[in-house]
C-alpha cells in the first residue's frame, strides 16, 4: 500500500505467461494512483482560464478552509471503505453530534471542553453501534448504515426539536477562527489528522489489518485475527473522526440545526472513490484521498465562479462518482483476469 | 487400539480420535481416527467429497468437530478456532489459497503476527519483516524474486510457496496442505513437492491432501485413505503399489480384497 512498495512491484520482473496483462495492470495502478492529482491540476487550469477570480490567493484559501471538515470525514470514511465496508450514516452522525454538542453549550452551559469531549464520545458511540451491527449481523453494511442513518436522523430531530442553536462560547468558535502562524487552526487540525491516519495505514499493524480486511476477510480470519473486532474498530474510528469534523463544521458556522451534516456522506464518498479508494476495499491512499476532496471542491467553486449554478454541479458530481466507480470496477476486473 | 500407553501416545504429534462431523443431513465424517508421526509426510487421499478437507479443517480450527478428541504431542487439546490451532504449532494451507492479493509476499507472510517495534509495539518493524522474508526465500530455495513482489502477480506454485513460507516463518511444526499441486503444472508441482520433502526432513510433520496418488507415493511415508467420511486404512508407501491405493480409495476397506472383476462389477452395480 505504501508508494515505495507499489513502485517496487512495477520494477520487479513479472511471471512470464501473463506479462503483458500484468504490465498493463501495473501501469494502470500507477495511473490510477496519480490520475486524481492530474485531474485536480487540469481543473485548476481550466477554471483559471474561465474565471479571473479563481486563481487568487483569497479564493484558493477559501477552497482550503471551506473543505477541512469534508477532508476529515473522508479520511474517517476511508477506514471503513478500505476495510471493505461503507458508512452512509456519517451525515446524520454529524447532525446528531452537532445538535447535542450545541445544546450542551447553549442550553445546559457545559464548559466547552466537556461539551467537545462528550460530543466526540457520542460520535464514537454512534460508530460503535454501526460497527457492532455490521460485525454481528453479517449483512450488507450499505443497508445497516442506511437504517442507522434514518434512526440517527429521527433522534437528532427529536432531541433538537428542530430548533437552531447559535452563538457559541468564544473558546468553541476558536476551533475555526483561531490562527497559528497565520494559518487557521482547523487547517492545522486537518493536516494533523491526515498525517496521523497516513502513519496508521503505513506504519501500524492495525492499519495493515484494516487493508487486509478489505482484501480478503476470510483469509484474515484464518490468519487468526478477529475480523469482528477489526470491523467494529473501523466504524468507531470513522464515528470519532466524523465527530471531530462536526466540531469544525459547527464552529465555522457558529450555528447548527439537525439539517447540518446530511449530504456530507455523499461528498466524502465521492471524494474517496475519486481519490482511488476502492469501492470494494483493500486499496487506497490518503494523499490521493485528499486530492479527491479538492477535485470536488475546485469543481464546485469553479463552476460557481463561472456562473453554472448549484444544480449543474449536482449533475457533474453524480457523473464524476459514476465515472470513478466504473474505473474502479474496470480496474478490479483487469486484476481478476490477471489472477486467473 | 483403545489401550495406548502414554509413551506410545507421544510417538505421535497428532492423534484424532473418533472424529465425527455433520453438515445438516450430510455425514461428512464418521468416527475417524488418525495418527501422525513426528517428521513424517502422511498423504490424505480419497474421492471428492470423502471428507479430507473437513477432517483437516477440524485440526486447523476452521471447523469444530461434533464429536471426538484431538491429541497434540500426547496431550488432549481443544481447537475451537484458527488461533487455538496456531498456538499448538499447526498451520494449514488452504485449497482456496488464503492469500491477500492486495499485499506483497512479506505482508502475506506476516499478517496476523506482524513484527513490531517501539513503545507497546506500536510501529511495524518493516525492515525486519522484509529481511526475514528475504532469508526465508533463500533458506527454502523457493522461486520468488523479491519479498516485495505482489502475490496477485504470482503463479500458482509461487503462491503455494508463499503460503508454505508463512507457516515456516511461525515455527509451525505441523503443516497441513490441501491439494497444493492441484492447479500446478508438472515442473511447478515437482518443485513444490521438493519443498515439502525438504520441510519434512527439517522435522516438520506434514499432512498432505491430494488427488494425485503418484505424488503421494513419491514423497509421503504413509497414506491415509478416506471414503464416504470413514477411514479405510493407512498404508505404508514403501509396501504398496499405486493399484493398492486406488483400489482402497474406490472400493473401501470391506471390498478391497475381493477379486478385481467381481468388485468392479459390484461397485458400479
Ligand atoms: N461447509 C460445508 N457445508 C456443508 N457441507 C459441507 C461443507 N463442507 C463440506 N461439506 C460436505 O461434506 C462432505 C465432505 O466434503 P470435503 O471435506 O470438502 O471433501 P473432500 O475435501 O474430501 O473433497 C461433502 O459432502 C461436502 O459437500
Ligand atoms: Mg477438499
Please report the sign of the dihedral spanned by the C-alpha atoms of residue B182, residue B188, residue B190, residue B194: negative
Under 8 Å CB-to-CB from B42, ≥6 apart: which residues? B34, B36, B205, B206, B207, B208, B220, B221, B222, B223, B224, B234
Q: Predicted confidence band at B195 (pLDDT cuts at 50, 70, 90)?
A: confident
Beta-bridge partner residues of A183:
A180
Task: Judge whether A135 lies within some domain.
Answer: yes
Helix (H, G, I), strand (E, B) or coil at A2: coil
Residue of B nearest to A18 (CA): B153
- Rounded to whole angstroms, what are the CA distances from B224 to B1, B36, B96, B114? 17, 10, 22, 35
- How much is the average pLDDT of B248-262? 70
**Out of A5, A12, A205, closest to residue B124 by CB:** A205
Under 8 Å CB-to-CB from B268, ≥6 apart: which residues? none
User: Is the CB of B108 within 6 Å of ligand 1?
Assistant: no
User: What pLDDT, on the 0 to 100 scale, is given for residue A22?
Assistant: 46
CA dist., res. A75 & res. A272, Å (int): 8
CATH number at residue A297: 1.10.3470
Terminal Cα-to-Cα distance of chain A (whole angstroms):
22
Please state the atom number of ligand 1 nearest to the C-alpha of residue B50.
22
The model's pLDDT over A129-140, given as tens digits with 9 standing for 90+, comes to 999 999 998 788
Helix (H) or strand (E) holding A36: helix A19-50
Under 8 Å CB-to-CB from A27, ≥6 apart: which residues? A10
Please state the atom number of ligand 1 nearest to the C-alpha of residue B95.
21
Residue by residue, DSSP assigns A133-152 as HHHHS-S-HHHHHHHHHHHH
User: What pLDDT, on the 0 to 100 scale, is given for residue B10?
Assistant: 65
- How much is the average pLDDT of A5-18? 33
User: What pLDDT, on the 0 to 100 scale, is given for residue A2?
Assistant: 39
Domains identified in chain B, total number: 1
- How much is the average pLDDT of B132-145? 87
A100: containing domain = 34-339
Task: Judge whether A5 lies within some domain.
Answer: no
SS (H, E, C) B108-163: HHHCCCCCEECHHHCEECHHHHHHHHHHHHHHCCCCCCCCCCEHHHCCHHHHHHHH
Is the Cβ pair B102, A214 closer than 8 Å? Answer: yes
Rounded to a whole number of angstroms, the CA Rg of chain A reads 21
Nearest CA to ligand 1 atom 16: B51
Which chain A residues have a beta carbon less than 8 Å from that of B62? Answer: 222
- What is the arrangement of strands in the sheet containing B222-227, beginning at the earlier edge strand? B90-93, B174-178, B205-209, B41-45, B222-227, B230-236
User: What pLDDT, on the 0 to 100 scale, is given for residue A303?
Assistant: 87
Residue A24 in this model has a pLDDT that exceeds 90: no
- In terms of Cβ atoms closer than 10 Å to its own Cβ (0-12, 13-18, 19+), residue A310 is exposed
| Closest chain B C-alpha to A129 CA, distance in angstroms | 25
- Rounded to whole angstroms, what are the CA distances from B146 to A212, A290, B39? 20, 31, 30
Q: Predicted confidence band at B263 (pLDDT cuts at 50, 70, 90)?
A: very low
The model's pLDDT over B91-124, given as tens digits with 9 standing for 90+, comes to 988 766 679 988 999 999 999 889 999 888 889 9
Please state the atom number of ligand 1 nearest to the C-alpha of residue B24.
4
| Closest chain B C-alpha to A89 CA, distance in angstroms | 28
Residue A263 in this model has a pLDDT that exceeds 60: yes
Between the CA of A269 and the centroid of ligand 1 the distance, in Å, is: 40
Task: Judge whether B30 lies within some domain.
Answer: yes
Residue B264 in this model has a pLDDT that exceeds 60: no
Say if residues A65 and A195 touch (Cβ distance below 8 Å): no
- How much is the average pLDDT of B191-207? 90
Residue B189 in this model has a pLDDT that exceeds 60: yes
Rounded to a whole number of angstroms, the CA Rg of chain B reads 20
Average pLDDT, chain B: 86
CA dist., res. A275 & res. A147, Å (int): 27
Helix (H, G, I), strand (E, B) or coil at B180: coil
User: What pLDDT, on the 0 to 100 scale, is given for residue B63?
Assistant: 93
The model's pLDDT over A167-196, given as tens digits with 9 standing for 90+, comes to 999 999 999 999 999 899 999 999 999 999
Say if residues B99 and A219 touch (Cβ distance below 8 Å): yes
Residue A3 in this model has a pLDDT that exceeds 50: no
User: What pLDDT, on the 0 to 100 scale, is given for residue A138?
Assistant: 77
User: What pLDDT, on the 0 to 100 scale, is given for residue B256?
Assistant: 66
The model's pLDDT over A233-260, given as tens digits with 9 standing for 90+, comes to 999 999 999 999 999 999 999 999 999 9
CA dist., res. A222 & res. B101, Å (int): 15
Task: Judge whether A7 lies within some domain.
Answer: no
User: Is the CB of B225 within 6 Å of ligand 1?
Assistant: no
CA dist., res. B46 & res. B216, Å (int): 12
Is the Cβ pair B146, A214 closer than 8 Å? Answer: no
Domains identified in chain A, total number: 1
Residue B233 in this model has a pLDDT that exceeds 80: yes
Q: What is the dihedral of CA A321, A324, A327, A332, to 10 degrees?
A: -90
Task: Judge whether B75 lies within some domain.
Answer: yes
Which ligand places an atom closest to the C-alpha of B51?
A: 1
Residue B259 in this model has a pLDDT that exceeds 60: no
Of residues B46 and A335, the one with the higher pLDDT is: B46
Which chain A residues have a beta carbon less than 8 Å from that of B88? Answer: none
Task: Judge whether B103 lies within some domain.
Answer: no
Is the Cβ pair B150, A9 closer than 8 Å? Answer: yes
> Which has the closest alpha carbon to A112: A247, A246, A236?
A247
Task: Judge whether B268 lies within some domain.
Answer: no
Is the Cβ pair A9, B154 closer than 8 Å? Answer: no
Residue A161 in this model has a pLDDT that exceeds 90: yes
Is the Cβ pair B153, A222 closer than 8 Å? Answer: no
- Rounded to whole angstroms, what are the CA distances from A233 to A125, A129, A237, B57, B250? 11, 11, 6, 29, 50
Helix (H) or strand (E) holding A286: helix A286-305
Of residues A3 and B186, the one with the higher pLDDT is: B186
Helix (H) or strand (E) holding A10: helix A3-11
Is the Cβ pair A220, B123 closer than 8 Å? Answer: no
Mutate to test the pocket of ligand 1, among B16, B21, B23 (most ligand atoms within 8 A of CB): B23
**Out of A9, A211, A221, closest to residue B148 by CB:** A9
CA dist., res. A41 & res. A61, Å (int): 16
B32: containing domain = 3-89+173-263
Q: What percent of chain A has pLDDT over 90?
A: 60
CATH number at residue B182: 3.40.50.300
Q: Predicted confidence band at B261 (pLDDT cuts at 50, 70, 90)?
A: very low
| Closest chain B C-alpha to A91 CA, distance in angstroms | 30
Counting every residue written for chain B, the total comes to 269
Say if residues B161 and B143 touch (Cβ distance below 8 Å): yes
Q: Predicted confidence band at A34 (pLDDT cuts at 50, 70, 90)?
A: confident
User: What pLDDT, on the 0 to 100 scale, is given for residue A198?
Assistant: 94
User: Is the CB of B210 within 6 Å of ligand 1?
Assistant: no
**Out of A208, A221, A338, closest to residue B82 by CB:** A221
Residue B156 in this model has a pLDDT that exceeds 60: yes
User: What pLDDT, on the 0 to 100 scale, is given for residue B186?
Assistant: 86
The model's pLDDT over A293-333, given as tens digits with 9 standing for 90+, comes to 999 899 888 888 888 888 888 888 888 888 888 877 776 67
User: Is the CB of B228 within 6 Å of ligand 1?
Assistant: no
Residues of B with CB under 8 A from a CB of A: 62, 81-83, 86, 92, 94, 98-104, 107, 111-114, 116, 121-124, 126, 145-146, 148-150, 152-155, 158
Task: Judge whether A12 lies within some domain.
Answer: no
Task: Judge whether A20 lies within some domain.
Answer: no
User: What pLDDT, on the 0 to 100 scale, is given for residue A31?
Assistant: 67
Q: What percent of chain B has pLDDT over 90?
A: 50
Helix (H) or strand (E) holding B216: helix B213-219
Q: Predicted confidence band at A23 (pLDDT cuts at 50, 70, 90)?
A: very low
CA dist., res. A229 & res. B214, Å (int): 44
User: What pLDDT, on the 0 to 100 scale, is given for residue A16?
Assistant: 32
- How much is the average pLDDT of B147-154? 89
Average pLDDT, chain A: 86
Task: Judge whether B110 lies within some domain.
Answer: no
The model's pLDDT over B6-37, given as tens digits with 9 standing for 90+, comes to 544 468 999 999 999 999 989 999 999 999 99
Residue A18 in this model has a pLDDT that exceeds 80: no
Task: Judge whether B77 lies within some domain.
Answer: yes
CA dist., res. B155 & res. B81, Å (int): 30
User: Is the CB of B49 within 6 Å of ligand 1?
Assistant: yes
Q: Predicted confidence band at B139 (pLDDT cuts at 50, 70, 90)?
A: confident
Please state the atom number of ligand 1 nearest to the C-alpha of residue B55.
17
Say if residues A160 and A97 touch (Cβ distance below 8 Å): no
CA dist., res. B56 & res. B90, Å (int): 11
Nearest CA to ligand 1 atom 20: B49
Task: Judge whether A3 lies within some domain.
Answer: no
Q: Predicted confidence band at A12 (pLDDT cuts at 50, 70, 90)?
A: very low
**Out of B82, B101, B155, closest to residue A222 by CB:** B82
Task: Judge whether A144 lies within some domain.
Answer: yes
Amino acid at each position: 500500500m505504501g508508494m515505495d512498495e507499489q513502485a517496487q512491484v512495477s520494477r520487479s520482473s513479472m511471471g512470464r505467461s501473463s506479462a503483458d496483462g500484468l504490465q498493463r495492470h501495473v501501469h494502470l495502478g500507477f495511473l490510477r494512483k496519480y490520475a486524481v492529482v492530474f485531474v485536480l491540476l487540469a481543473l485548476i487550469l481550466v477554471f483559471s482560464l474561465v474565471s479571473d477570480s479563481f486563481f487568487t490567493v483569497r479564493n484558493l484559501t477559501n477552497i482550503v478552509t471551506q473543505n477541512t471538515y469534508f477532508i476529515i470525514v473522508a479520511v474517517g470514511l476511508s477506514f471503513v471503505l478500505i476495510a471493505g465496508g461503507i458508512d452512509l450514516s456519517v451525515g446524520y452522525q454529524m447532525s446528531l453530534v452537532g445538535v447535542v454538542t450545541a445544546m450542551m453549550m447553549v442550553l445546559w452551559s457545559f464548559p466547552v471542553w466537556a461539551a467537545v469531549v462528550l460530543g466526540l464520545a457520542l460520535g464514537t458511540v454512534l460508530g460503535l453501534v454501526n460497527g457492532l451491527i455490521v460485525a454481528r449481523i453479517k449483512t450488507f453494511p450499505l443497508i445497516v448504515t442506511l437504517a442507522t442513518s434514518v434512526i440517527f436522523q429521527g433522534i437528532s430531530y427529536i432531541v433538537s426539536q428542530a430548533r437552531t442553536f447559535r452563538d457559541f462560547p468564544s473558546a468553541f468558535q476558536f476551533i475555526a477562527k483561531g490562527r497559528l502562524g497565520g494559518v487557521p487552526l482547523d487547517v492545522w487540525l486537518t493536516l494533523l489528522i491526515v498525517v496521523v491516519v497516513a502513519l496508521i495505514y503505513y506504519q501500524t499493524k492495525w492499519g495493515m489489518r484494516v487493508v487486509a480486511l478489505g482484501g480478503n476477510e476470510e483469509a484474515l480470519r484464518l490468519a487468526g485475527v478477529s475480523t469482528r473486532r477489526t470491523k467494529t474498530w473501523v466504524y468507531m474510528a470513522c464515528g470519532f473522526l466524523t465527530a471531530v469534523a462536526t466540531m469544525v463544521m459547527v464552529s465555522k458556522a457558529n450555528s447548527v440545526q439537525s439539517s447540518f451534516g446530511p449530504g456530507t456522506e455523499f461528498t466524502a464518498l465521492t471524494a474517496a472513490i475519486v481519490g482511488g479508494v476502492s469501492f470494494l476495499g483493500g486499496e487506497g491512499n490518503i494523499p490521493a484521498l485528499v486530492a479527491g476532496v479538492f477535485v470536488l471542491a475546485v469543481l464546485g467553486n469553479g463552476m460557481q465562479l463561472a456562473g453554472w449554478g448549484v444544480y449543474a454541479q449536482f449533475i457533474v458530481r453524480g457523473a464524476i462518482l459514476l465515472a470513478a466507480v466504473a474505473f474502479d470496477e474496470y480496474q478490479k476486473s483487469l486484476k481478476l483476469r490477471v489472477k486467473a | 487400539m483403545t489401550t495406548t500407553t502414554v509413551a506410545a501416545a507421544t510417538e505421535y504429534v497428532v492423534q484424532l480420535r473418533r472424529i465425527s462431523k455433520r453438515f445438516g443431513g450430510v455425514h461428512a465424517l464418521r468416527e475417524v481416527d488418525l495418527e501422525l508421526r513426528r517428521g513424517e509426510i502422511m498423504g490424505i487421499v480419497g474421492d471428492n467429497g470423502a471428507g479430507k478437507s473437513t477432517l483437516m479443517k477440524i485440526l486447523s480450527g476452521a471447523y469444530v468437530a461434533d464429536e471426538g478428541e484431538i491429541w497434540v504431542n500426547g496431550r488432549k487439546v481443544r481447537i475451537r478456532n484458527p488461533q487455538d490451532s496456531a498456538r499448538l504449532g499447526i498451520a494449514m494451507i488452504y485449497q482456496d489459497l488464503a492469500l491477500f492479493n492486495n499485499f506483497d509476499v512479506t505482508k502475506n507472510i506476516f499478517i496476523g503476527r506482524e513484527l513490531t517495534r517501539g513503545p507497546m509495539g506500536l510501529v511495524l518493524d518493516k525492515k525486519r519483516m522484509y529481511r526475514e522474508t528475504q532469508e526465508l526465500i533463500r533458506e527454502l530455495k523457493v522461486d520468488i524474486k523479491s519479498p516485495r513482489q505482489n502475490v496477485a502477480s504470482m503463479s500458482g506454485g509461487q503462491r503455494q510457496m508463499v503460503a508454505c513460507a508463512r507457516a515456516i516463518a511461525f515455527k509451525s511444526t505441523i503443516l497441513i496442505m490441501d491439494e497444493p499441486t492441484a492447479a500446478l503444472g508438472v515442473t511447478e508441482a515437482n518443485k513444490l513437492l521438493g519443498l515439502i520433502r525438504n520441510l519434512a526432513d527439517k522435522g516438520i510433520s506434514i499432512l498432505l491432501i491430494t488427488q494425485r496418488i503418484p505424488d503421494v507415493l513419491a514423497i509421503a511415508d504413509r497414506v491415509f485413505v478416506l471414503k464416504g467420511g470413514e477411514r479405510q486404512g493407512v498404508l505404508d508407501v514403501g509396501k504398496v503399489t499405486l493399484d493398492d491405493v486406488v483400489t482402497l480409495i474406490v472400493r473401501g476397506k470391506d471390498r478391497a480384497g475381493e477379486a478385481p472383476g467381481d468388485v468392479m462389477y459390484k461397485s458400479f452395480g
